[in-house]
Every structure is written in structure tokens, then in C-alpha cells.
A and B are shown apart, each in its own frame.
Chain A
Amino acid sequence: MRVPLVTAVRGPILMITLGLLFVADRFDAAGFDRTWPVLIIVFGILKLLERLALRRQGLGAGGV
């Protein structure tokens, strides 16, 4: 299985998001205790793109 770009890039993108959330927290724009769900959203989007990319590669599997 060729690793799609989305999968490889998932880690760094999450890390950048985490960093930006903490920047916002550090400079009192929006506290991390309020912004943390953004991480879940970004993770979900990346996972979604990954599923779509793998579909295009022609693989199928069940599972949540």
C-alpha cells in the first residue's frame, strides 16, 4: 500500500495546529481550554481525506 501524502502529513499538520493553539493561548487570544476541540476537528478532516485518498487508490476495507 502506497502511503498517501495525507497520512504522512497528518502528524506534522497536527503538531502545527497544536503549536498555533498554544500560541493563541500564550498571547491571550483564546485560551487552550476553549480551543482544544480544534484538534479533534483537524484530525477528523485529515482522517477523512485519508479515507478518500485510499478509496481512490482502490482499496476497500470495513471498519469504523
Chain B
Amino acid sequence: MRRGSLVGPFVLILVGVVLLLNNFKPELSLLHLFFNYWPFLLVGWGAVRLIEILVSAARAQPLPRDGITTGEWVLAVLLCLFASGADFARSQLPKARITMHGLQLFGETFDYPLAGSVEAGPAPRVFIENLRGNVRVAGGEGSEVKVEGRATVRAFAKDDADKVNAKCPLEVVREGDQIIVRTNQERAGGDWSVSADLEISVPKGASVTARGRYGDFDIANLDGNVEIASDNAGVRITGVGGDARIQLERSDIIRIVSLKGKVEIKGRGEDIELEDISGRVTVKGAYSGGLSMRRLAGPLVFESRRSELRVAGIPGVLHLDLGDLTAENVQGPLYFKSSSRDVELTAFTGPVEIQLERGDVQLRPAGKDPQIQATVRSGDIVLILPEGADGGVEATTQRGEVVNEFGEELATEDLGQKGARLFGPPGKPVRIRLSTRRGDITVRKTVAAPEQGSPKRLQTTSV
């Protein structure tokens, strides 16, 4: 008869006991411990089993073929899925009510009203700390900071909820020139599920710094700066006179409209939408949705693992998502380097430099003096030049065709094994360099009436 290991059933019992105790005494933070250190459970399990087997070997006893039985593997895999899934779910579930941090899957929610206010000056610095819950800040007339809201506690019995709520009072106090608004949720201890939604009105001249773990921030109408740091938040900012600095581990949306200062965004998230920003915009991190920029006066700098984008100004609109960079009416210098994206730039001015591993490029510069350098490893390039553009073109492809639909000023040359080349007009200094290793290059002329005629119909006489 095969002697099974004791470790497997032991793990099962341990997990059961932890979860059970958590339902009765969440303040012991057993669950917190569990979710933080569960991989060590696996390591310990394997190590104990390993020692058991080594001891068997030392005693010259027959060794089992299955160090870890099938059933035990099933348990281990389920444990991994459950624990890492809980981590994952914590950040993906809708932020409103359910928080998996405390595994309070049952019980009821109990709400408690919150209110507080304090006199502030015309331009105070407001510091908000609300671990879980949504916060809305609005600047207005008056010189006080007023907080209204609701705390929500999830518990099995009202008495428990009352006790927990009593531990987490809302604090609205003044310390020097700082106004502090705090919901003290960490005082609940353990794995209690406490969250608070706040509506805060502040004097218009205020600056706001907000910290949280889980919950949206909605800031409107301030002359000062805004600073937000959270583990998981959606951020909406409108009408701010100062700078915005946002640091989020995860987010679904960051939307800033009408801000007069600089914007600095770091972290990870999905979508970013910026409109009417006067200052410099810097975005660093990984954003799985897309960037959408409209009317940015200042330079934009975007850095992620895959790509780098610098634009001097965006009077028009620019979209950057997983597959494309599309922009219309942007000001160079523009520099874009990426691994795999299609690029389409329309009506741009100023020098442009593009480097891609893979992707198709379509460029339609405005103005008479485009300066372009586009280097692509694999992809097609289409250049649409206005008639009479200054500057010469030098375009090469190592495997592909060159198509001259522009006119007689440009010429093509077949380089045999080395590919093909398109160049001209002779005598002009080269201002446009296009190169692809695999792909076609087409140069076309913009015509006033778009759908007309064959490519070589026009006799160009321009300089």
C-alpha cells in the first residue's frame, strides 16, 4: 500500500482554517498574510516532500514514482490559480463595492454618513487620503474645505460594522497651511472591507494631493496643482490651472481636459485622453488602450517599453494605440521609434523622424519644406507631397518596388539585387529620406481634386 504524504491534506486543512477564521475574526489579518505569502506555502510543501523522499532514500526504502501525486498537483494548481487570480481580480473588478482584499464574499453592507469641514485660506494645499472609494473634488467659491460622503462597511452583523466604523473616523483638519482629509481606513485593521465615497468642495485656488489604493478621482475647477497616486484608479480632471502629476499602478482611464500647466503621467493603465493642455506632457509607462491627444500646446514626450514618441506640439489630434500612430495637424520636430506599428501622419509641419521595425507609413506633410527621415525594416512607405515641395527625395527599398506617381521631377532606378531607388529632383539638397528593407515606396502628389487622372498626367514646372 502506498504511503501518501501528509503534506497535501495538511495544506488543504490549513487553507480551510485560514478562510474560516477570517470570517470570524478579520482583524487578525490571516487572509492578508495568506495572500501575501502563499507562494512560500508551495515552496514549503515541495521542500517537505523533498525531505520526506530523501529520508526514504537514505533509509533504503523504496521510492515512490510520484513525488507529488496527481491529486496534490491538482490542489497546487488550484491554489496558484485561486491566489494569483485573487490578485488579478483585485485590480480588475469594478471598484464600486466589492473588494477582494478582504475575502468578504458574504455579509451585508452597512452605510454611515460622513461629514466634516474646516476653514481654509483662499489657496490651501489639500491633502486627501482615502484608501478605498471614489473621491470627487470641486473648486468653488468660499474659503472652507467641506467634505460630505458615505462610508461603507461590509460585515456579517451590524454590531461588527459599527465597531469597525468607529475605528475609522473621517478627519478634516488643518495643519499649518495644509488641510488634511483622511478616512483612516487602515485603522480597521485586518481584512475588513471598508470603503468611503467623498464629495469635497475646496476653495478655487487650492492645490490637491490625493492618495488612494482603489477608487476613482474626479477633480474639477482648481487653480492650483493636482497630484494623484493610487494603486488602481480612474482619473478625470477638468479645468485646472496648475500642473498635474499622476502615478497609478493600474488605471482604466486618465482624462484631463483644459489644464494650464504641465502634465506628468507615470505607471500603467489603459486609456489616456488629454485635451487642451498648455504645458509640457510627459507620459511614461505601459498603456494597453491608447493615447488620445487633442490640442496640446506644449511638447509631448511618451516613453514605453515598445516605443518612444516626441512631438513639439499637437494643435490637431494624435492617437497612439497598440497598432497605430495616427496624427493630423501636428507640429514637428516629431520623433517616433517603435517596434511594430503603422504610422499615418497628415498635415504635419516641421522635421519628422520615424524608425520602425515593422509597420506601414503614410506621410502627408503640409507646408513647402518637409523634412522627413523614415526608416522601416519591414513595411511600405507612402509619401504624399504637395506640388512644388522644396527639397529632394532619396528613397530606397532593398526588397520591393518604388513607384513614382509624383511626376517627372523624380526618377527611379533599379539597383538589381540591392533593390530600387527613387530620387530627385536633381540639384536639390535631400530633405526627405525614406528607406525600407522590405516593402514598397510610393511617392504621390497631392492634387486639389483628389480623384483625377493618371499619375504622370501633370507637367510640373515648379520650383
Contact = CB atoms under 8 A, between A and B. Distances in A.
A9 B76 contact: no
A30 B45 CA distance: 22
Nearest to B36: A26
Chain A interface mostly helix, strand, loop or mixed? helix
Of B49, B56, B64, B83, which is in contact with the most chain A CB atoms at under 10 Å from its CB? B49
B68 A16 contact: no
Nearest to A17: B46
Contact of B40 (A2, A3, A5, A23): A23
A38 interface: no
Given A14-B68, A18-B80, A32-B84, A5 B43 contact: no
Interface residues of A, number: 24
A20 B43 CA distance: 6
A59 to B, nearest CB: 14
A43 interface: no
Contacts of A18: 42, 46, 76, 80
A22 B88 CA distance: 13
Contacts of A9: 50, 53-54, 67
Given A7-B65, A22-B80, A12 B49 contact: yes
Contacts of A21: 39
A19 interface: yes
Of A7, A14, A16, A21, which is in contact with the most chain B CB atoms at under 10 Å from its CB? A16
A15 interface: yes
A19 B45 contact: yes
B63 A12 contact: no
Given A3-B63, A8-B67, A10-B67, A15 B57 contact: no
Given A3-B62, A26-B36, A12 B67 contact: yes
B66 interface: yes
B65 A20 contact: no
A11 interface: yes
Nearest to B56: A8
B415 interface: no
B33 interface: no
A8 B64 contact: yes
A20 B47 CA distance: 11
B76 to A, nearest CB: 6
A26 B42 CA distance: 13
Contact of B42 (A5, A8, A13, A15): A15
Contacts of B41: 19
Contacts of A7: 63, 65, 67
B63 A22 contact: no
A12 B46 contact: yes
A13 B46 contact: yes
A19 B64 contact: no
Given A3-B62, A3-B64, A11 B49 contact: yes
Nearest to B41: A19
Contact of A22 (B42, B45, B67): B42
B39 A16 contact: no
Given A8-B57, A12-B49, A19 B65 contact: no
A19 B40 contact: yes
Given A15-B49, A22-B42, A5 B84 contact: no
A42 B65 CA distance: 18
A52 to B, nearest CB: 17
B45 to A, nearest CB: 6
B50 A12 contact: yes
B36 A11 contact: no
Interface string B232-270: 000000000000000000000000000000000000000
Given A2-B62, A11-B69, A18-B42, 6 more contacts: A9-B54, A11-B49, A12-B67, A15-B46, A15-B49, A19-B40
Interface of B: 36-47, 49-50, 53-54, 56-57, 62-69, 72-73, 76, 80, 83-84, 87
18 contacts: A3-B65, A5-B53, A5-B57, A7-B65, A8-B53, A9-B53, A10-B67, A11-B72, A12-B49, A12-B50, A15-B49, A16-B42, A16-B46, A16-B50, A18-B46, A19-B41, A22-B80, A26-B39
Interface of A: 2-5, 7-23, 25-26, 32
User: Nearest 6 CB-CB pairs, A to B?
Assistant: A11-B67, A19-B42, A11-B68, A15-B46, A19-B43, A16-B46
